[in-house]
Protein backbone atom coordinates (compact mmCIF):
# COMPACT_ATOMS: atom_id res chain seq x y z
CA UNK A 1 0.00 0.00 0.00
CA UNK A 2 1.60 3.23 -1.16
CA UNK A 3 0.62 6.89 -1.11
CA UNK A 4 0.46 8.49 -4.55
CA UNK A 5 1.18 12.17 -5.07
CA UNK A 6 0.18 12.75 -8.70
CA UNK A 7 -1.53 16.18 -9.05
CA UNK A 8 -0.85 17.03 -5.40
CA UNK A 9 0.47 20.58 -5.59
CA UNK A 10 3.91 21.47 -4.29
CA UNK A 11 2.49 23.82 -1.66
CA UNK A 12 0.45 21.07 0.04
CA UNK A 13 2.58 18.02 -0.74
CA UNK A 14 4.64 18.24 2.46
CA UNK A 15 1.61 18.29 4.75
CA UNK A 16 -0.10 15.54 2.73
CA UNK A 17 2.89 13.21 2.85
CA UNK A 18 3.45 13.84 6.56
CA UNK A 19 -0.22 13.07 7.24
CA UNK A 20 -0.01 9.89 5.14
CA UNK A 21 3.00 8.64 7.11
CA UNK A 22 1.22 9.43 10.36
CA UNK A 23 -1.75 7.34 9.13
CA UNK A 24 0.52 4.37 8.49
CA UNK A 25 1.69 4.65 4.87
CA UNK A 26 5.31 3.58 4.40
CA UNK A 27 5.58 3.79 0.60
CA UNK A 28 5.58 7.27 -0.95
CA UNK A 29 5.40 7.65 -4.74
CA UNK A 30 6.33 10.80 -6.65
CA UNK A 31 7.95 11.76 -9.97
CA UNK A 32 10.04 14.45 -11.62
CA UNK A 33 7.11 15.52 -13.78
CA UNK A 34 4.79 15.93 -10.76
CA UNK A 35 6.87 18.97 -9.75
CA UNK A 36 6.39 18.27 -6.06
CA UNK A 37 9.54 16.33 -5.10
CA UNK A 38 10.78 19.10 -2.78
CA UNK A 39 7.54 19.11 -0.79
CA UNK A 40 7.38 15.32 -0.79
CA UNK A 41 10.90 15.17 0.67
CA UNK A 42 9.96 17.68 3.35
CA UNK A 43 6.89 15.62 4.18
CA UNK A 44 8.93 12.43 4.42
CA UNK A 45 11.35 14.02 6.90
CA UNK A 46 8.51 15.51 8.92
CA UNK A 47 6.64 12.21 8.99
CA UNK A 48 9.75 10.30 10.04
CA UNK A 49 10.36 12.76 12.89
CA UNK A 50 6.71 12.79 14.01
CA UNK A 51 6.46 8.99 14.12
CA UNK A 52 9.91 8.21 15.51
CA UNK A 53 10.91 6.35 12.34
CA UNK A 54 14.13 6.10 10.36
CA UNK A 55 14.75 6.66 6.66
CA UNK A 56 14.83 2.90 6.12
CA UNK A 57 11.22 2.66 7.34
CA UNK A 58 9.99 4.62 4.29
CA UNK A 59 10.04 3.23 0.74
CA UNK A 60 10.49 6.12 -1.68
CA UNK A 61 9.76 5.95 -5.41
CA UNK A 62 10.40 8.67 -7.95
CA UNK A 63 10.55 8.66 -11.73
CA UNK A 64 12.59 10.00 -14.62
CA UNK A 65 10.63 12.02 -17.15
CA UNK A 66 12.16 10.73 -20.41
CA UNK A 67 11.19 13.63 -22.64
CA UNK A 68 8.57 13.32 -25.35
CA UNK A 69 9.47 14.46 -28.87
CA UNK A 70 5.77 14.60 -29.78
CA UNK A 71 5.39 17.35 -27.16
CA UNK A 72 8.38 19.29 -28.46
CA UNK A 73 10.74 17.88 -25.82
CA UNK A 74 14.17 16.43 -26.46
CA UNK A 75 14.37 12.89 -25.05
CA UNK A 76 17.10 12.66 -22.41
CA UNK A 77 20.34 10.83 -23.19
CA UNK A 78 22.23 8.75 -20.65
CA UNK A 79 24.07 11.66 -19.03
CA UNK A 80 20.96 13.82 -18.95
CA UNK A 81 19.05 11.00 -17.27
CA UNK A 82 21.75 10.75 -14.61
CA UNK A 83 21.62 14.53 -14.12
CA UNK A 84 17.83 14.41 -13.76
CA UNK A 85 18.16 11.75 -11.07
CA UNK A 86 20.71 13.87 -9.20
CA UNK A 87 18.28 16.80 -9.32
CA UNK A 88 15.46 14.61 -7.98
CA UNK A 89 17.67 13.44 -5.10
CA UNK A 90 18.56 17.04 -4.29
CA UNK A 91 14.91 18.11 -4.29
CA UNK A 92 13.89 15.15 -2.15
CA UNK A 93 16.80 15.77 0.22
CA UNK A 94 17.77 12.09 0.14
CA UNK A 95 20.98 10.16 -0.46
CA UNK A 96 19.16 7.44 -2.42
CA UNK A 97 15.72 6.20 -3.42
CA UNK A 98 14.26 2.74 -3.02
CA UNK A 99 12.83 2.59 -6.54
CA UNK A 100 13.59 4.71 -9.60
CA UNK A 101 11.45 4.31 -12.70
CA UNK A 102 11.48 5.55 -16.28
CA UNK A 103 8.08 7.22 -16.28
CA UNK A 104 7.11 6.32 -19.84
CA UNK A 105 8.55 4.77 -23.02
CA UNK A 106 8.51 8.10 -24.87
CA UNK A 107 12.32 8.23 -24.90
CA UNK A 108 12.26 6.64 -28.36
CA UNK A 109 15.79 6.24 -29.69
CA UNK A 110 17.11 7.20 -26.24
CA UNK A 111 15.03 4.57 -24.43
CA UNK A 112 17.89 2.11 -24.03
CA UNK A 113 20.33 4.87 -23.07
CA UNK A 114 17.94 5.92 -20.32
CA UNK A 115 17.71 2.34 -19.09
CA UNK A 116 21.50 2.10 -19.07
CA UNK A 117 21.54 5.21 -16.86
CA UNK A 118 19.24 3.46 -14.40
CA UNK A 119 21.50 0.42 -14.42
CA UNK A 120 24.38 2.78 -13.53
CA UNK A 121 22.36 4.12 -10.59
CA UNK A 122 21.54 0.61 -9.37
CA UNK A 123 25.19 -0.38 -9.57
CA UNK A 124 26.41 2.58 -7.52
CA UNK A 125 23.64 2.16 -4.95
CA UNK A 126 21.87 5.47 -5.36
CA UNK A 127 18.76 3.64 -6.60
CA UNK A 128 18.18 0.48 -4.59
CA UNK A 129 15.83 -0.91 -7.23
CA UNK A 130 14.99 0.22 -10.77
CA UNK A 131 12.11 -0.21 -13.15
CA UNK A 132 9.82 1.34 -15.68
CA UNK A 133 6.30 2.69 -15.94
CA UNK A 134 3.75 2.42 -18.75
CA UNK A 135 5.97 0.00 -20.69
CA UNK A 136 4.35 -2.69 -22.79
CA UNK A 137 5.72 -6.09 -23.82
CA UNK A 138 7.57 -4.74 -26.86
CA UNK A 139 9.32 -2.07 -24.77
CA UNK A 140 10.53 -4.67 -22.28
CA UNK A 141 11.55 -7.05 -25.05
CA UNK A 142 13.66 -4.24 -26.50
CA UNK A 143 15.65 -4.16 -23.25
CA UNK A 144 16.07 -7.95 -23.29
CA UNK A 145 17.18 -7.95 -26.93
CA UNK A 146 19.89 -5.44 -26.04
CA UNK A 147 21.26 -7.93 -23.52
CA UNK A 148 20.50 -5.67 -20.54
CA UNK A 149 19.09 -6.64 -17.17
CA UNK A 150 15.30 -6.36 -17.08
CA UNK A 151 13.30 -3.95 -14.91
CA UNK A 152 12.40 -5.04 -11.41
CA UNK A 153 8.98 -3.35 -11.59
CA UNK A 154 6.54 -1.84 -14.07
CA UNK A 155 4.05 0.73 -12.77
CA UNK A 156 0.93 0.55 -14.93
CA UNK A 157 -2.77 1.38 -14.87
CA UNK A 158 -4.56 -1.57 -13.24
CA UNK A 159 -8.15 -1.85 -12.04
CA UNK A 160 -11.14 -4.06 -12.94
CA UNK A 161 -11.75 -2.05 -16.13
CA UNK A 162 -8.10 -2.41 -17.24
CA UNK A 163 -6.60 -5.75 -16.20
CA UNK A 164 -3.87 -6.31 -18.87
CA UNK A 165 -3.65 -10.12 -18.54
CA UNK A 166 -1.14 -10.61 -21.38
CA UNK A 167 1.23 -7.95 -20.07
CA UNK A 168 0.95 -9.24 -16.50
CA UNK A 169 1.64 -12.82 -17.61
CA UNK A 170 4.73 -11.65 -19.47
CA UNK A 171 5.90 -9.67 -16.44
CA UNK A 172 5.36 -12.64 -14.13
CA UNK A 173 7.37 -14.86 -16.48
CA UNK A 174 10.28 -12.42 -16.23
CA UNK A 175 10.01 -11.58 -12.52
CA UNK A 176 8.82 -8.00 -13.03
CA UNK A 177 6.64 -6.77 -10.16
CA UNK A 178 3.40 -4.93 -11.06
CA UNK A 179 2.62 -1.63 -9.33
CA UNK A 180 -0.91 -0.36 -9.95
CA UNK A 181 -1.94 3.23 -10.50
CA UNK A 182 -5.43 4.64 -11.14
CA UNK A 183 -6.80 1.86 -8.92
CA UNK A 184 -9.86 3.99 -8.14
CA UNK A 185 -10.70 4.93 -11.74
CA UNK A 186 -14.00 2.95 -11.79
CA UNK A 187 -15.48 4.73 -8.74
CA UNK A 188 -19.10 5.57 -9.46
CA UNK A 189 -18.70 8.77 -7.44
CA UNK A 190 -15.25 10.22 -7.90
CA UNK A 191 -14.10 11.64 -4.59
CA UNK A 192 -12.04 14.75 -5.10
CA UNK A 193 -10.88 16.63 -2.03
CA UNK A 194 -11.20 20.42 -2.01
CA UNK A 195 -8.19 21.93 -3.72
CA UNK A 196 -7.06 18.61 -5.22
CA UNK A 197 -6.96 18.09 -8.97
CA UNK A 198 -8.12 14.89 -10.61
CA UNK A 199 -7.29 13.28 -13.93
CA UNK A 200 -10.77 11.70 -13.97
CA UNK A 201 -12.55 11.91 -17.31
CA UNK A 202 -16.26 12.07 -18.02
CA UNK A 203 -16.21 8.50 -19.29
CA UNK A 204 -14.84 7.09 -16.07
CA UNK A 205 -17.38 8.93 -13.91
CA UNK A 206 -20.24 6.71 -15.15
CA UNK A 207 -21.79 4.43 -12.52
CA UNK A 208 -20.75 0.83 -13.15
CA UNK A 209 -23.13 -0.26 -10.37
CA UNK A 210 -21.42 -3.51 -9.50
CA UNK A 211 -18.72 -1.86 -7.41
CA UNK A 212 -21.26 -0.19 -5.16
CA UNK A 213 -23.21 -3.43 -4.75
CA UNK A 214 -20.12 -5.43 -3.85
CA UNK A 215 -18.91 -2.72 -1.47
CA UNK A 216 -22.25 -2.86 0.32
CA UNK A 217 -22.01 -6.67 0.50
CA UNK A 218 -18.69 -6.43 2.33
CA UNK A 219 -19.61 -3.37 4.39
CA UNK A 220 -16.83 -1.22 2.95
CA UNK A 221 -16.52 1.77 0.63
CA UNK A 222 -16.15 1.39 -3.14
CA UNK A 223 -12.61 2.72 -2.79
CA UNK A 224 -11.75 0.02 -0.26
CA UNK A 225 -13.25 -2.64 -2.53
CA UNK A 226 -11.20 -1.50 -5.53
CA UNK A 227 -7.99 -1.24 -3.53
CA UNK A 228 -8.59 -4.66 -1.97
CA UNK A 229 -9.06 -6.09 -5.49
CA UNK A 230 -5.61 -4.77 -6.39
CA UNK A 231 -3.94 -6.10 -3.26
CA UNK A 232 -5.57 -9.52 -3.64
CA UNK A 233 -4.47 -9.58 -7.26
CA UNK A 234 -0.88 -9.17 -6.08
CA UNK A 235 -0.27 -5.51 -6.91
CA UNK A 236 1.11 -2.63 -4.92
CA UNK A 237 -1.52 0.14 -5.02
CA UNK A 238 -1.05 3.92 -4.79
CA UNK A 239 -4.20 5.75 -3.67
CA UNK A 240 -3.98 9.47 -2.97
CA UNK A 241 -6.04 11.87 -0.91
CA UNK A 242 -5.65 15.16 0.92
CA UNK A 243 -8.31 14.12 3.44
CA UNK A 244 -6.82 12.39 6.53
CA UNK A 245 -9.98 10.32 7.06
CA UNK A 246 -9.87 9.05 3.48
CA UNK A 247 -6.18 8.31 3.89
CA UNK A 248 -7.12 6.19 6.91
CA UNK A 249 -9.98 4.50 5.06
CA UNK A 250 -7.88 3.67 2.01
CA UNK A 251 -5.19 1.91 4.04
CA UNK A 252 -7.68 0.00 6.20
CA UNK A 253 -8.09 -3.10 4.05
CA UNK A 254 -7.30 -5.86 6.51
CA UNK A 255 -10.80 -6.55 7.79
CA UNK A 256 -12.24 -8.25 4.71
CA UNK A 257 -11.39 -10.39 1.72
CA UNK A 258 -13.20 -10.55 -1.62
CA UNK A 259 -14.37 -14.12 -2.12
CA UNK A 260 -13.42 -16.22 -5.14
CA UNK A 261 -16.77 -15.88 -6.90
CA UNK A 262 -16.69 -12.09 -6.67
CA UNK A 263 -13.06 -11.99 -7.84
CA UNK A 264 -14.17 -14.07 -10.83
CA UNK A 265 -17.03 -11.65 -11.46
CA UNK A 266 -14.67 -8.67 -11.36
CA UNK A 267 -12.39 -10.39 -13.88
CA UNK A 268 -15.27 -10.25 -16.41
CA UNK A 269 -15.36 -6.43 -16.30
CA UNK A 270 -12.12 -5.84 -18.22
CA UNK A 271 -12.63 -3.15 -20.87
CA UNK A 272 -9.17 -3.34 -22.38
CA UNK A 273 -6.08 -1.23 -22.42
CA UNK A 274 -6.87 1.57 -20.00
CA UNK A 275 -8.43 4.95 -19.37
CA UNK A 276 -5.36 6.99 -18.42
CA UNK A 277 -2.76 5.36 -20.64
CA UNK A 278 -2.54 3.07 -23.64
CA UNK A 279 0.32 0.61 -23.28
CA UNK A 280 -0.60 -0.71 -26.71
CA UNK A 281 0.02 2.58 -28.51
CA UNK A 282 1.99 1.54 -31.62
CA UNK A 283 3.53 5.01 -32.00
CA UNK A 284 5.71 4.32 -28.94
CA UNK A 285 7.88 1.79 -30.77
CA UNK A 286 10.45 3.34 -33.10
- Residues noted as catalytic: 34
User: Could you tell me if 221 and 249 are in contact, meaning their C-beta atoms sit under 8 angstroms apart?
Assistant: yes
User: Could you tell me if 119 and 149 are in contact, meaning their C-beta atoms sit under 8 angstroms apart?
Assistant: yes
Report the alpha-carbon distance of residue 156 to residue 276 in Å, rounded: 10
Amino acid sequence: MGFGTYLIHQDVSASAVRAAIEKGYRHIDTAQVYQNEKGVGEGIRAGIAACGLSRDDIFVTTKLWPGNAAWGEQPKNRQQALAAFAESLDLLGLDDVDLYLIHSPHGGTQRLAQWQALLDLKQDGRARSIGVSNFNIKHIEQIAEAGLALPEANQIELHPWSQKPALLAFMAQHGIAPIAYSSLAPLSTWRVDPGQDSAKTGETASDAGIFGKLAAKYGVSEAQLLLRWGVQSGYAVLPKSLNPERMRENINLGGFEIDNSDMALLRTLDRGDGLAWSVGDPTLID
